Structure 1
Amino acid sequence: MAAHTALEVGRRVAFYRRLARMTQCELANAAGLGAGTLQKIERGARGAGDSVLESIADALGVEVERLLRDRKGIADYVHAAMPGLHKVLASYDDPDDGPVRSLAELREAVAAVVTQRLQSQYVGTMRVGPDLLTELLRALAIAPADARAEVARLVVAACRAVDAAAYKSGAVDLSARLVGLMRWAGQQADDPMTASTVAYVRAEVHFVSRTHEAGLRALERAIDTVPPPNGIAASAARGSLHMRAAVIAGRAQQADVAAEHMTLAADLASQVREGVYDGTAFGPDSVRVHEVSLAVSLGEGHLQRALDIARTWAPPRGLPSERRSGFYIELARAQLWAGRPQDAFECLSLARQMAPQHVREHRWVKEDIGTLRRLRRSPAETLTSFAEWCGAV
């Protein structure tokens, strides 16, 4: 049994033992094992053969498949794609020779992975992402002057899609390197709208590192470089950056600054229809989603705002599933903090229906399901199933 498999099996053995309200000694005796052996199995320090697992499953009163369930998720696909991505990142400015499709075909391929990102289909992105990035960087290296900017924008869009999968799966170091590649390609595009997209995504690095003040400064500098909002594209670009700045200001506990950015985002959203602009969803509905995110970021004293929004509004089906599921993940946290565990679980269940790949890897989902299990305010079997599915056991 591989080391990572032993660890996963051990965690599930411990989970079902606690669910059965048995001590390690009690389970070891019932399964005919030494207490020390069971302790090592639960820690993942040693594997367990088929006969041992069958004995443990019998003692716990569960099917052995429950202990062996494959929980392959985005992180597994990201890990499998890492060799290819490391090659891309090591030689992005001097790619190997190889085939390159026509510009029209590359546009179509990038549009497909962008759609996958917006709909939270990260596994599909990771299957094609490394090869697509390799091909796009080849295309950029040989592009004639009149096509170079467009190819660079395609590199940014594809890199953003791959980064989304890496970031959502917790591969933050890989994500930061992909953001670096986006910044390099964005400079080749020589386009303020592309630069605003890169700045929007780069904020991920500051969220992860909790350098919120620095992230806020970077976003505010980016806002200053976007052309005046005299058209739809510029209004959407500025508005998206204001949304992002509001949330990161909230994480920095700068409530007044956050409110100012959110007001500016709402003003700009009123000038455009909800849609996807340069790969970022923006409009009145997206601003509403970010208002909930801001309330959760600011925490106690502001959570009622999130609950008030949810009382009269829900994200429409036309919004990308990544954004819709994010709304319900944030709302679940607000409801949990407000003492509404059943409502919180319903929100997480809704988010799972909309974007299972997004929800399954989300750190807050795992934390909140763990809290709900401790509170035992929802059916134990339903919570157990959800906890198993998202790896919160």
Structure 2
Amino acid sequence: MATLDAVALGKRIAATRKAKKLRQTDLARDSFVSLPMVKAIEQGKRYPSDTTLEALAAALGVDPTRLLDTYTGAETRVHAALPAISAGLAAYDVPLSSPRRTLDELHTIVAETVNWRLAAQYGRIAQHAPALLGDVLAAFHAARDKRAAARLVVAAARSVDAVAYKYGARDLSARLVELMRWAVPYADDPLLTASVAYVRTEVFFTARAHAAGTRALEAAVDAAPAARDEDTAAARGALHMRAAVIAGRDGDADTANSHLTHARRLSEQTREGTYLGTAFGPESVRIHELSVAVSLGQDHVDDALAVAREWTPSKALPAERRSGFWIELARAQMWGSRFNDAFESLKVARGIAPQHTREHPWTRETTGTLVRLRRADEETLHHFASWVGAV
């Protein structure tokens, strides 16, 4: 007999399929799920396993939480992968195996993981991370000219680091950053060196060593190539954006605003885009204006809210960055006693990038505060708070 949960889930899958103008046979083919199983799930007669739900979601082009808002399979997969990732890093500088894939094959899968990172698809990265790290390291050690292989090591490690950092494995994240710093000199690419300096800031955020982080980023700006084209302007601009935020965390408004000014000027020389895995351009700088105001604390709530009154990010930006905007806006709205608006912003963030929203500490903090204050629609809020682990 069908349960109410299975019926509701089946209806949501069917509605999503129809909105995508797909037949059941199309969904079965694209998801590699049998047609009888697809029919039974849509009718509420069968409840899909996590693997089946993920396959259906991938075929429909949506995150599994769009079909089942209580889904936590990505978290399970990430935590299951962390020990294997850690073990693979233990001897990163020692050749342990022969390459199984060519550099061209690795370039394709690494590019895909970069896209997954930007889309906040952390569960998918975790599924491939241990084998991918082993493969890029094997290719690096076997290569005579290590430049291309080193770039792959850096890009793969950065994608895996996003998973470790977002899911609280901060020691593992720091080791992945060190892997990037070890590999990047072999790439002989000053722009890639600048991007690794950008990522390294995570270590300073974790340690709350904000003044040291600001100095490290300023040194990276000094070492970066002069802004002569879009790529070089984006490299320097991204470092300035990052420096603005960490200076804000340090309570240094003057330094933060100075870096924002530099980033804004450099963004005028670029189109919004992704440069060596980092989004930069006019919209990214606007998002960092909000980030800086929130980093500076509650006294700057009006500055944060002013950004959102005039502008919100477009869908052209990566999902991870867009969801971050709404999470930070929710924090500012809560400080400004705009509790319903704060909850609405969190729901927008969830719709854009559920995995990023669920694992963001400020999501839990803001949601927990709203629950304690008993603000917003109570039943819906408690459901959301349960999903993020705030209650």
Residue 109 (1) aligns with residue 109 (2): yes
How far 1:130 moved relative to its partner?
1.3
Residue 341 (1) aligns with residue 343 (2): no
The answer for the alignment partner of 2:39 in structure 1 is none
Measured on the aligned residues, the alpha-carbon RMSD in Å equals: 1.3
The answer for the alignment partner of 2:369 in structure 1 is 371
User: 1:73 & 1:348 partners in 2: Cα distance?
Assistant: 21
The answer for the alignment partner of 2:322 in structure 1 is 324
The answer for the alignment partner of 2:273 in structure 1 is 275
Matched to 2:272, the amino acid is E
Q: Contact conserved, 1:333 with 1:368, CA < 8 A, in 2?
A: yes
Alignment of 1:175-214 (within 5 A): 175-214=173-212
How far 1:73 moved relative to its partner?
5.3
How far 1:323 moved relative to its partner?
0.2
Matched to 1:91, the amino acid is A
Q: Contact conserved, 1:285 with 1:315, CA < 8 A, in 2?
A: yes
Gaps of 5+ in 1: 1-68
Alignment of 1:226-241 (within 5 A): 226-241=224-239
How far 1:272 moved relative to its partner?
0.3
The answer for the alignment partner of 1:361 in structure 2 is 359
The answer for the alignment partner of 1:133 in structure 2 is 133
The answer for the alignment partner of 1:25 in structure 2 is none
User: 1:260 & 1:73 partners in 2: Cα distance?
Assistant: 42
How far 1:187 moved relative to its partner?
1.9
User: 1:70 & 1:131 partners in 2: Cα distance?
Assistant: 29
Q: Contact conserved, 2:75 with 2:123, CA < 8 A, in 1?
A: no
Matched to 2:101, the amino acid is R
Q: Contact conserved, 1:73 with 1:357, CA < 8 A, in 2?
A: no
The answer for the alignment partner of 1:300 in structure 2 is 298
User: 1:374 & 1:300 partners in 2: Cα distance?
Assistant: 19
The answer for the alignment partner of 1:44 in structure 2 is none
Per-residue CA deviations over 1:315-349 (Å, capped at 9, x if unaligned) read 00010000000000000000000010000000000
1:141 aligned counterpart, secondary structure:
helix
How far 1:81 moved relative to its partner?
1.2
Q: Report which stretch shifted further, 242-251 or 186-195.
A: 186-195
How far 1:267 moved relative to its partner?
0.1
Compared with structure 1, are the counterparts of its residues 216 and 74 closer, same or farther at alpha carbon in structure 2 (3 Å cutoff)? farther
TM-score, normalization by structure 2: 0.81
Q: Contact conserved, 1:74 with 1:165, CA < 8 A, in 2?
A: no
The answer for the alignment partner of 2:21 in structure 1 is none
Per-residue CA deviations over 1:261-313 (Å, capped at 9, x if unaligned) read 00000000011000000000000000000000000011133221111110121
Matched to 1:87, the amino acid is A
Give the number of aligned pairs: 323
- Identity across aligned pairs (percent)? 56
Q: Contact conserved, 1:291 with 1:306, CA < 8 A, in 2?
A: yes
TM-score, normalization by structure 1: 0.80
User: 2:72 & 2:319 partners in 1: Cα distance?
Assistant: 21
The answer for the alignment partner of 2:11 in structure 1 is none
Matched to 2:184, the amino acid is G
Q: Contact conserved, 2:133 with 2:156, CA < 8 A, in 1?
A: yes
How far 1:74 moved relative to its partner?
4.6
Alignment of 1:1-393 (within 5 A): 72=72, 74-145=74-145, 148-393=146-391
User: 1:95 & 1:115 partners in 2: Cα distance?
Assistant: 28
Runs of 4+ in 1 over 2 A off after TM superposition: 69-79
1:273 aligned counterpart, secondary structure:
coil
2:160 aligned counterpart, secondary structure:
helix
Q: Contact conserved, 2:78 with 2:122, CA < 8 A, in 1?
A: no
Q: Contact conserved, 2:333 with 2:341, CA < 8 A, in 1?
A: yes
How far 1:70 moved relative to its partner?
7.7
How far 1:369 moved relative to its partner?
0.7
Q: Contact conserved, 2:339 with 2:375, CA < 8 A, in 1?
A: yes
User: 1:191 & 1:264 partners in 2: Cα distance?
Assistant: 23
Q: Contact conserved, 1:75 with 1:170, CA < 8 A, in 2?
A: no
User: 2:118 & 2:234 partners in 1: Cα distance?
Assistant: 17
Matched to 2:83, the amino acid is P
Per-residue CA deviations over 1:340-373 (Å, capped at 9, x if unaligned) read 0000000000000000000111111111111111
User: 1:332 & 1:355 partners in 2: Cα distance?
Assistant: 15
Matched to 2:341, the amino acid is D
Q: Contact conserved, 2:98 with 2:139, CA < 8 A, in 1?
A: no
User: 1:300 & 1:93 partners in 2: Cα distance?
Assistant: 45
Compared with structure 1, are the counterparts of its residues 149 and 360 closer, same or farther at alpha carbon in structure 2 (3 Å cutoff)? same
Q: Contact conserved, 1:74 with 1:361, CA < 8 A, in 2?
A: no
Per-residue CA deviations over 1:13-63 (Å, capped at 9, x if unaligned) read xxxxxxxxxxxxxxxxxxxxxxxxxxxxxxxxxxxxxxxxxxxxxxxxxxx
User: 1:269 & 1:296 partners in 2: Cα distance?
Assistant: 21
Matched to 2:102, the amino acid is S
User: 1:73 & 1:304 partners in 2: Cα distance?
Assistant: 38
